Amino acid sequence: MVMAMLLTTQAAYADEEARPAKPKKRAEKVDAETAAKAEEAFHAGRKLMTKKSTLDEACATLERSFDLQERGDTLLNLAECHRRQGKTATAYREFEEALDYALSADFKEAIEAAFVLHAELEAKLSTVSVKVAAPVAKLPKLVVSIDGKPIAKKDWGQPMAQDPGPHTITATATAHEPFREDIVLGAESDAQSVVVELKPSRKPDPPPPPPPPPPEREIPSWVWPVGGAGIAALGASVATGLIARNAGNELDDICGAERLECPSGYNFGTTRRRELVTFGLFAGFGVAGIGLIGTAAGGIILSQFTDLDVGKLPVTVTPLVASDTGGLLFTGAF
């Protein structure tokens, strides 16, 4: 009987202009082409609705028809399609709106069909109550939602009809951890309750302090006099070297390359000693200068790359100069 009523509603709603305007929002009258597409989808949806295997496709087709043209007969069939899918809450709301369409058109068969099915579903509705405690309700920017749709504050704690199946209740507020709870509503007359609880956000641990800057490493004071002494020693080495060369050149010029042809009366020994002594000083000062400059350079490098206080090492560096040799003398513990 109900299906017969649903099928007969098409004639009553085919003429949109003959039906009084519904108080709720209605789409404007559509053009002929759109109305034809809506009519075609309407008949296709009703045909698909006769088989369980094509029920999902039927509901989608009827939804498309209603989107093209908001007609009461389309909505009534869509509500019945959703009822067969088990979407009791969705069908319940659609039957309620279809009943309003039928009352506006004063079509008794449609009114009776919508009323009967609406009342039948009301007894089977599954509901969920989302309760928000008073302290939580006062939190700034609190948003409580079910399946991503915000719940009006007036509906907090009230049973809300929902389709059977999984649902997700969420809540967010400033400076609080987000809340989430998943539930599964039973097919008939299942009533569940969810209490929203929000915990303050845990403050993140402060970032670790930056590492202290590396200490400024001072160059030991001793490197400057040591380096200066090295430069002075190199200068002395150059001077004595020139003297030694001059003495050698003099002997070559006077006594020959082999130094065996010295003229009588020439003081060969004095010139030869000057050559040897100054050459020894040249070598000694040169080695000492290089050693002192190297020691100073090493002290600078060590002071910048290690924590070793080179200036405190008990080491003494002394130039060693003799008539036939030269060098550095290192004394101490190292």
Domain ranges of the chain: 2-122, 126-196, 223-332
Domain 126-196 classified CATH 2.60.40.1120? yes
Please state, as a whole number, how many other Cβ atoms lie within 10 Å of the Cβ of residue 288: 26
Instruction: Please state, in angstroms and rounded to a whole number, the distance separating the CA atoms of residues 8 and 21.
Output: 21
DSSP E strands: which ranges in the chain?
126-132, 143-146, 149-150, 159-162, 165-172, 179-185, 191-196, 315-321, 326-332
Q: In which residue ranges of the chain is pLDDT below 70? A: 1-28, 304-334
Instruction: Please state, in angstroms and rounded to a whole number, the distance separating the CA atoms of residues 60 and 114.
Output: 20
Q: Across the beta sheet with 143-146, what order do the strands follow?
A: 149-150, 143-146, 165-172, 179-185
DSSP E strands: which ranges in 25-147?
126-132, 143-146
Cβ pair 44, 12 in contact under 8 A: no
Instruction: Please state, in angstroms and rounded to a whole number, the distance separating the CA atoms of residues 176 and 266.
Output: 110
pLDDT tens readout for residues 201-211: 887 778 888 88
Phi, psi torsion values for 319, nearest 5 degrees: -65, 145
pLDDT tens readout for residues 18-48: 333 344 445 457 899 999 999 999 999 999 9
What is the pLDDT at residue 177?
A: 92
pTM reported for the whole predicted model: 0.52
> Buried b vs exposed e over 305-327: b needs ≥16 C-beta within 10 Å?
eeeeebeeeeeebebebeeeebb
Classify the phi-psi angles of 185: left when phi > 0, otherwise alpha if psi is within -120 to 50, otherwise beta. Answer: beta
What is the pLDDT at residue 333?
A: 54
What is the pLDDT at residue 11?
A: 37
Please state, as a whole number, how many other Cβ atoms lie within 10 Å of the Cβ of residue 198: 20
Instruction: Please state, in angstroms and rounded to a whole number, the distance separating the CA atoms of residues 111 and 50.
Output: 22
Cβ pair 285, 277 in contact under 8 A: no
Please state which of the four CATH numbers 3.40.630.10, 1.10.620.20, 1.25.40.10, 1.10.10.60 is assigned to the domain occupying 2-122. Answer: 1.25.40.10
Spatial neighbors of 248 by CB under 8 A, at least 6 apart, are 275
Element (H, E) at 78: helix 72-85
Shortest CA distance to 85 belongs to which of 64, 112, 54? 54
Instruction: Please state, in angstroms and rounded to a whole number, the distance separating the CA atoms of residues 39 and 62.
Output: 10
Query: For the chain, what percent of residues have pLDDT higher than 90?
Result: 39
Same fold flag, 2-122 and 126-196: no
